[in-house]
C-alpha cells in the first residue's frame, strides 16, 4: 500500500528527515564525537589502561550521552528546521549560522576541559563560570596561552559552516497555519521527541554525567560524558557560597580534623579480617525505638542494643535518604541547598568507604531493594569505589514481593541479602538499605494485624521492619561468616513524630547507632557499653576503622568517636541555615556567619533554653561550624575532598 503524502505523520517524517534534518543530526553527533576524541588525546596520560576494546566501547557509549547535548544545545536549529515555515527557504543562511553557533558553543566548552581536565580529573559543570568570574582569574592569560587552540576553533568554525547540510529545494510545509489540528498534533509529537532526547531515554531521571558509571569503568566517566552534558546537569542548581570568615585553611583544618591528616585504613588487629555489614534502616529515628525512647516498635532491636556498643547521641547529617549515602560512605555532610549526589560536584575525585575497603582486600556490595536508578545511588557509589550494586533488577522474585510503591518488602529482601552474603567471597564490606518504613508505609497483608502502632503509619512499618531484621539475623546466624562479622545498625534520617521535640534542630536529626559483634570482636571495654559523645553519620566509618585497629583515623569530615581528642558534634544544613549540635547545645548560622540561634535543648523537652552567645562553649562551636562551612565550600570548589 502506498503512503499518502498528505497525511500529517507521513509529511512530518518526509519533511523533517528526508532532507537536511537527519543529516544535521548526524553531523552534530559527529562533531561531538570528534570533540571527545580530541579530549581523549589530550588526557589519555591520566586515564587507566583498560584496553582498546573498552575505549572503543566508551566512544560508542559517548554517542548515547551526546543525544541530550544534541537535543538541547542545537535546539534553535531543530526549531528553525521544523517550524520556520517559508522563512526557511527565504533565509537559508540562518540555518547554517544557527547550526555553526550551536556547534561552536559545544566545542568551546569541550575545549576548555581538554586542558582543564588535566588538573581537575573531571568534566567542568556550571561552577566553572563562577571560577572564571572570580576576581583572581584573568581571562587574557588563558587566551594568550591557548593561541593554537583558538586558531583551531576558528578553522573548525569555517569548516562546520561549509558542511552544514541545507536543502537544495523547498522544504515541505510541515506546519500549516490553516490546519490547526494537524499543527497541534505535529507540535506535540515534536515536543515529545525533544523531551525524550533531552532526558536521554525513559529512565527515572534525565541522563547525567555520573550515570556513565553504570555502563563502563568509573575512571573513564569524563571520557564517556562531555562538558556540555555536565553543564546541563548543573546550570540550574544553586552554587556554593564563597565562605572565608577570616580564617585560613590550616586553621580550619585544625578545628575540623583535629590536626590529623587523612588516615588510610590499616590492616588492623584482626586475622582473618572481619566482615562488615552497615545496615541502614529507612527512617529509623530514636523516637521510634524502645532502647532510645521507650516506644514498643522495636523489640528485636532492643535486644541487639543490649549486646552492642551503643551511641545514644548520634545525629543524621540530613533529612533525606539521598543525603545519607555521601554522609556515611564518603564523610560528606550535605552543607548546601541541593543534594550532593545531584550537584555539579558529584563527580569530584574521591574514594568512598567501599573503594577503600576494596583496597584492603574486601569484596564490596550495596543492597537496596528499590529501582536501580533510585536517588542516583548506583551511579554515585559505582563511580567512587563500589564493586557491585544490587537493586530490584537483581532480585529474583519481584512479582510476588513488590510492595506496589518503592520496591521489595523488607522481610523477603533481607532474606535474599542473607543468601547473597553466603555466596560472597570473604571478607566482605557491604551496605544494606531497607525501604518498607518509607511513606506510604506499605507492609505485607499478613503483618497488618498484631503490630504495635497505628496502621499505615511510620510506627507500624518500623515494627514490621524490626521483624524483618529479626528474620535476617536469624538467617545470617546459621552462616559460617556470622561470628566473624561486625554489624553497624543506624538510620538514614528521621520522619514523622507525635512529639514536638522531634521537630527541633536537634531532635529532628536523632538516629540510633549500634555496633554489634556476635563473635565478640569488639574490645572488652566496649562490649555491651554506651558512649555518650555526640557524633554524626560522618563519624561512623572512622569509628569502625579504629575498632579494626587504625590509629585515630578521619574520613572526610568524620572522625572516630573513640578518639579522646575529638569532642564530638554533628552538622547539618536546613532551610538555608547551618547548624552544629553538641548535645545539649545547638548553634545556628546563616551563610555569612551571622548567629541566628544558640540554645540548650534537653532531650524530649519541647522548649529550648536560650543562651548568651559567649564563653568557651560558644566560641568553640561558632568557630568549628564556620570552619566546616569554609572547608566544605573550598574542598568542593577546588576538587580537593580527601
- CATH number of the domain at 511, please: 3.40.720.10
Q: What is the pLDDT of residue 125?
A: 77
Q: Answer whether residue 313 shows pLDDT above 60.
A: yes
Q: Say if residue 18 is in the same domain as residue 121.
A: yes
Distance CA 535, CA 559 (A): 9
CA-derived radius of gyration, the chain: 28
Q: What is the pLDDT of residue 148?
A: 75
Q: Answer whether residue 607 shows pLDDT above 50.
A: yes
Distance CA 286, CA 495 (A): 10
Q: Which residue has the higher pLDDT, 348 or 303?
A: 303
DSSP letter, residue 438 = S
Say what the alpha-carbon torsion angle 618, 620, 625, 626 is, to the nearest 10 degrees: 100
Q: Say if residue 399 is in the same domain as residue 287.
A: yes
Q: Answer whether residue 514 shows pLDDT above 50.
A: yes
Cell numbers standing for residue 578:
547551618
Q: Say if residue 48 is in the same domain as residue 156.
A: yes
Q: Say if residue 340 is in the same domain as residue 435.
A: yes
Nearest 5°: phi and psi at 230?
-65, -35
Q: Say if residue 189 is in the same domain as residue 94.
A: yes
Q: Answer whether residue 259 shows pLDDT above 80.
A: no
Q: Say if residue 198 is in the same domain as residue 273.
A: no
Distance CA 489, CA 110 (A): 44
Q: Say if residue 441 is in the same domain as residue 313.
A: yes
Q: What is the pLDDT of residue 592?
A: 85
Condensed to tens digits (0 to 9), the pLDDT of residues 445-459 reads 999 888 998 888 899
Condensed to tens digits (0 to 9), the pLDDT of residues 76-112 reads 988 887 777 677 777 878 888 999 999 999 999 988 8
Q: Are 469 and 288 in contact (CB under 8 A)?
A: no
User: Is the bond preceding 613 in cis, omega lying within 30 degrees of 0?
Assistant: no
Instruction: Compute CA distances 199 → 64, 70, 319, 455, whole Å.
Output: 11, 11, 27, 38
- H or E stretch including 374? none
Cell numbers standing for residue 104:
561552536
Q: Answer whether residue 467 shows pLDDT above 50.
A: yes
Residue 483 makes CB contacts below 8 A (sequence gap 6+) with 518, 519
Q: Which of 160-169, 439-448, 489-498, 525-534 has the lowest mean pLDDT?
A: 160-169
DSSP letter, residue 538 = G
Distance CA 428, CA 447 (A): 32
Q: Say if residue 413 is in the same domain as residue 356.
A: yes
Q: Answer whether residue 134 shows pLDDT above 50.
A: no
Q: Answer whether residue 293 shows pLDDT above 90.
A: yes
Domain termination residue (choose one: 181, 216, 232)? 232
Distance CA 616, CA 621 (A): 9
Interior/surface letters 433-462, b for 16+ CB within 10 angstroms, e for the rest: bbbbbbeebbbeeebeeebebeeebbbbbb
Condensed to tens digits (0 to 9), the pLDDT of residues 358-390 reads 988 999 999 999 998 888 899 999 988 899 999
* Residue 464 domain flag: yes
Unique residue bearing C-alpha cell 564523610:
331
Q: Are 631 and 622 in contact (CB under 8 A)?
A: no
Q: Answer whether residue 239 shows pLDDT above 80.
A: no
Residue 242 makes CB contacts below 8 A (sequence gap 6+) with 633
Task: Specify which of 268-282, 299-313, 552-566 reaches the highest per-range mean pLDDT.
Answer: 299-313
Burial of 402 (0-12, 13-18, 19+ CB in 10 A): middle
* C-alpha 326, offset from chain centre: 7
Q: What is the pLDDT of residue 642?
A: 67
Q: Say if residue 64 is in the same domain as residue 199.
A: yes
Q: What is the pLDDT of residue 512?
A: 97
* Residue 529 domain flag: yes
Distance CA 243, CA 208 (A): 28
Q: Are 341 and 237 in contact (CB under 8 A)?
A: no
Domains in the chain, number? 2
Q: What is the pLDDT of residue 496?
A: 86
* Residue 91 domain flag: yes
Domain termination residue (choose one: 533, 554, 573)? 573
Q: What is the pLDDT of residue 6?
A: 53
Domain termination residue (choose one: 551, 573, 595)? 573
* Residue 590 domain flag: no
Q: Which of 21-30, 81-90, 186-195 has the lowest mean pLDDT?
A: 81-90
- Average pLDDT (175-204) is 72
Cell numbers standing for residue 320:
533525606
- Average pLDDT (606-629) is 95
* Residue 632 domain flag: no
Percentage of residues in the chain with pLDDT exceeding 90? 49
Distance CA 300, CA 462 (A): 11
Three-class DSSP category at 428: strand
Q: Answer whether residue 62 shows pLDDT above 50.
A: yes
Q: Say if residue 204 is in the same domain as residue 329.
A: no
* Residue 485 domain flag: yes
Q: Are 217 and 50 in contact (CB under 8 A)?
A: yes
- Average pLDDT (194-214) is 80
Q: Say if residue 51 is in the same domain as residue 171.
A: yes
Q: What is the pLDDT of residue 79?
A: 85
Q: Say if residue 177 is in the same domain as residue 128.
A: yes
* Residue 595 domain flag: no
Q: What is the pLDDT of residue 171?
A: 47
| Other C-beta atoms lying within 10 Å of the C-beta of residue 595 | 13
Interior/surface letters 506-527, b for 16+ CB within 10 angstroms, e for the rest: bbbbbbbbbbbbbeebbeeeee
Q: Are 516 and 482 in contact (CB under 8 A)?
A: no
Q: Answer whether residue 48 shows pLDDT above 90.
A: no
What is the average pLDDT value for the chain, to the nearest integer? 86
Q: What is the pLDDT of residue 177?
A: 47
- Average pLDDT (322-340) is 92
Query: Residue 526's domain spans which residues?
Result: 266-573
Amino acid at each position: 500500500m502506498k503512503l499518502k503524502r498528505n497525511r500529517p505523520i507521513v509529511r512530518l517524517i518526509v519533511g523533517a528527515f528526508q532532507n537536511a534534518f537527519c543529516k544535521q543530526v548526524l553531523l552534530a553527533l559527529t562533531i561531538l564525537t570528534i570533540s571527545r576524541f580530541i579530549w581523549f588525546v589530550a588526557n589519555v596520560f591520566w586515564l587507566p589502561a583498560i584496553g582498546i576494546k573498552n575505549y572503543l566501547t566508551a566512544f560508542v557509549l559517548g554517542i548515547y550521552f551526546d543525544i541530550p547535548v544534541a537535543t538541547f544545545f542545537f535546539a534553535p536549529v531543530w526549531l528553525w528546521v521544523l517550524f520556520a515555515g517559508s522563512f526557511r527557504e527565504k533565509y537559508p543562511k540562518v540555518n547554517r549560522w544557527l547550526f555553526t553557533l550551536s556547534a561552536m558553543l559545544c566545542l568551546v566548552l569541550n575545549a576548555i576541559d581538554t586542558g582543564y581536565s588535566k588538573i581537575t580529573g573531571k568534566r567542568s559543570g556550571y561552577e566553572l563560570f563562577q571560577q572564571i568570574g572570580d576576581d583572581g582569574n584573568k581571562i587574557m592569560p588563558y587566551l594568550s596561552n591557548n593561541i593554537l587552540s583558538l586558531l583551531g576553533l576558528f578553522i573548525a568554525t569555517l569548516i562546520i559552516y561549509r558542511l552544514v547540510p541545507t536543502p537544495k529545494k523547498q522544504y515541505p510545509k510541515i506546519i500549516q497555519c490553516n490546519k490547526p489540528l494537524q499543527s497541534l498534533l505535529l507540535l506535540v509529537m515534536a515536543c515529545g521527541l525533544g523531551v525524550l532526547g533531552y532526558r536521554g531515554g525513559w529512565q527515572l531521571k534525565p541522563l547525567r554525567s555520573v550515570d556513565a558509571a553504570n555502563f563502563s569503568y568509573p575512571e573513564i566517566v569524563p571520557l564517556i560524558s562531555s562538558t556540555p552534558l555536565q553543564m546541563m546537569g548543573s546550570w540550574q542548581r544553586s552554587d556554593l557560597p564563597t565562605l572565608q570568615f577570616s580564617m585560613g585553611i590550616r586553621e580550619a583544618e585544625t578545628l575540623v580534623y583535629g590536626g590529623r591528616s587523612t588516615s588510610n585504613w590499616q590492616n588492623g588487629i584482626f586475622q582473618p579480617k572481619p566482615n562488615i555489614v552497615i545496615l541502614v534502616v529507612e527512617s529509623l529515628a530514636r523516637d521510634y525505638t524502645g532502647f532510645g525512647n521507650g516506644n514498643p516498635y522495636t523489640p528485636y532491636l532492643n535486644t541487639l542494643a543490649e549486646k552492642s556498643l551503643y551511641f545514644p547521641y548520634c545525629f543524621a547529617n540530613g533529612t533525606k535518604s539521598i543525603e545519607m549515602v555521601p554522609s556515611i560512605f564518603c564523610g560528606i555532610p550535605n552543607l548546601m541547598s541541593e543534594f550532593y549526589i545531584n550537584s555539579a560536584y558529584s563527580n569530584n575525585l574521591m574514594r568512598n568507604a567501599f573503594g577503600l575497603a576494596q583496597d584492603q582486600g574486601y569484596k564490596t556490595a550495596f543492597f537496596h531493594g528499590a529501582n536501580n536508578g533510585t536517588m542516583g545511588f548506583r551511579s554515585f557509589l559505582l563511580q567512587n569505589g563500589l564493586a557491585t550494586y544490587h537493586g530490584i533488577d537483581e532480585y529474583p522474585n519481584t512479582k510476588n514481593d513488590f510492595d506496589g510503591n518503592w520496591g521489595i518488602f523488607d522481610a523477603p529482601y533481607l532474606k535474599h541479602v542473607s543468601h547473597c552474603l553466603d555466596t560472597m567471597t570473604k571478607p566482605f564490606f557491604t551496605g544494606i538499605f531497607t525501604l518498607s518504613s518509607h511513606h506510604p508505609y506499605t507492609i505485607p497483608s499478613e503483618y497488618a494485624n498484631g503490630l504495635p502502632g497505628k496502621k499505615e503509619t511510620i510506627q507500624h512499618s518500623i515494627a514490621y521492619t524490626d521483624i524483618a531484621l529479626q528474620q535476617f539475623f536469624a538467617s545470617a546466624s546459621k552462616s559460617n561468616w556470622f561470628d566473624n562479622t561486625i554489624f553497624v545498625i543506624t538510620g538514614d534520617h528521621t520522619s514523622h513524630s507525635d512529639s514536638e521535640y522531634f521537630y527541633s534542630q536537634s531532635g529532628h536529626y536523632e538516629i540510633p547507632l549500634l555496633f554489634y559483634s556476635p563473635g565478640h570482636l569488639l574490645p572488652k571495654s566496649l562490649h555491651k557499653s554506651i558512649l555518650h559523645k555526640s557524633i554524626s553519620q560522618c563519624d561512623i566509618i572512622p569509628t569502625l576503622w579504629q575498632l579494626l585497629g587504625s590509629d585515630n583515623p578521619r574520613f572526610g569530615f568524620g572522625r572516630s568517636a573513640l578518639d579522646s581528642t575529638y569532642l564530638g558534634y554533628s552538622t547539618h544544613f536546613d532551610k538555608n541555615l547551618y547548624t552544629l549540635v553538641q548535645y545539649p547545645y545547638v548553634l545556628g548560622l546563616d551563610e555569612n556567619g551571622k548567629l541566628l540561634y544558640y540554645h540548650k535543648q534537653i532531650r524530649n523537652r519541647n522548649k529550648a533554653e536560650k543562651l548568651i552567645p559567649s564563653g568557651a562553649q560558644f566560641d568553640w562551636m561558632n568557630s568549628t561550624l564556620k570552619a566546616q562551612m569554609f572547608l566544605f565550600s573550598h574542598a568542593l570548589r577546588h576538587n580537593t575532598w580527601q
